[in-house]
Structure 1
Amino acid sequence: MVTFLIILLVVVCIALGLFVLVQNPKGGGLATGGANSNMFGVQRTGDVLEKGTWVLLALLVVFSMAITVASKNGGAATGSKIDDHINKTATPSVIGGGLQKQEATPTKTGDSTKK
């Protein structure tokens, strides 16, 4: 389910990018260039692209929220290796476990100055 929502989110992001790139802030957009390109007109093209951008933006928000909710609710059911690794509790290791203690070496006492 989460994978399907992520795929839809990627498709919406690509479509939103294309819609934004096609728009011309001066009102030209799709209505400029070519002999048959004036089928919508400048105002109508701007309206269609603007409404499409808002719809795609709303879908982006909805899919993002749905992915967040689905991943929090179904996190344990997915069986992800990363989630399993994160959820493992750290077991403390015993320092020097199984090794015998070493005896302390005696220090030399006496005159440490050399002549």
Structure 2
Amino acid sequence: MLFLIILLIIICVALGLFVLIQNPKGGGLATGGSGSNMFGVQRTGDVLEKGTWVLLTLVVVISLAITAIGKTGSIGATGSGDSKIQQQLDKTPTPSPIGGGIKPATTPAPATTPEAPKK
């Protein structure tokens, strides 16, 4: 699972770089004064755009894989085996929703009687 998380971080950094080096295609805040594509910029833009989509797809697939592994412990694991944390949560008593809560244990009365005052 650690490998997938590291791979996801690397892919996210690469995706950010792919997005940042793309030429803006116009509209919004990316509108510039020059609108000419010279020296084959369109072909480079196509490669970057396809790379962005591939990296985005990888981010989604790896994120889903990490979620599946995190929920079950391993891919393809079946059964209703709860995690240790869930078992511990099941053992703890739940307080009453109306505020009664769990009553504290009462302390027993002292076993000895107080001494009589001396005269």
Q: TM-score, normalising length from structure 2? A: 0.57
Q: Give, in angstroms, the shift of residue 91 of structure 1.
A: 4.5
Q: What does residue range 77-96 of structure 1 map to in structure 2 within 5 Å?
A: 84-85=84-85, 87-88=87-88, 89-91=91-93, 95-96=104-105
Greater share of helix residues, 1 or 2?
Answer: 1
The Cα RMSD (Å) is 2.6
Q: Which has the larger radius of gyration?
A: 1
Contiguous gaps of at least 5 residues in structure 2: 27-38, 75-82, 95-101, 111-119
Matches within 5 A, 1:19-34: 19-26=18-25
Matched-pair identity in %: 56
Measure how far apart 1:90 and its partner are.
1.1
Structure 1 spans left out of the alignment, 5+ residues: 28-37, 76-82, 103-115
| TM-score w.r.t. length of structure 1 | 0.59
Q: List structure 1 segments (4+ residues) > 6 angstroms apart after TM superposition.
A: none
**After superposition, where does 1:91-102 map in structure 2 within 5 Å?**
91=93, 95-97=104-106, 99-101=107-109
